[in-house]
Structure 1
Amino acid sequence: MKAKLKNIYSIIILMVTSFSAFAQDGNAGINEATNQVKSYFSTGTNLMYAIGAIVGLVGAIKVYKKWNDGEHDTGKVASSWFGSCIFLVVVATVLKSFFGV
Structure 2
Amino acid sequence: MAPTSNPMKKILISLTLLLCAAAGMAQDGNAGINEATTQVKSYFSTGTNLMYAIGAVVGLVGAIKVYKKWNDGEHDTGKVASSWFGSCIFLVVVATVLKSFFGV
TM-score, normalised on structure 2? 0.74
The answer for unaligned runs of 5 or more in structure 2 is 1-22
Is 1:56 matched with 2:69? no
Partners of 2:33 and 2:75 in 1: CA distance? 54
Question: Match for 1:98 among 95, 98, 101?
Answer: 101
Equivalent residue in structure 2 for 1:34, among 33, 37, 53? 37
**Mapped partners of 1:94, 1:87: distance in 2:** 10
What secondary structure does 2:79 align onto?
helix
Q: 1:47 Cα shift?
A: 0.2
Residue in structure 2 matched with residue 67 of structure 1 by the alignment: 70
User: Relative to total residues, which structure has the larger helix share, 1 or 2?
Assistant: 1
Specify the alignment match of 1:85 in structure 2.
88
Aligned partner of residue 75 in structure 2, secondary structure: coil
1:55 is displaced (CA, Å) by 0.1
* Identity score, percent: 95
Aligned CA RMSD, in angstroms, stands at 1.7
Aligned length: 82
> 1:26 offset after TM fit, Å?
1.8
| 2:46 paired residue number | 43
Q: Please give the TM-score of this superposition, normalised by the length of structure 1.
A: 0.76
Give structure 1 stretches of 5+ with no counterpart. 1-18
Structure 2 match to 1:25: 28
Quote how far apart the aligned CAs of 1:100 are: 0.6
- Inter-partner Cα distance in structure 1 for 2:29 and 2:76: 56
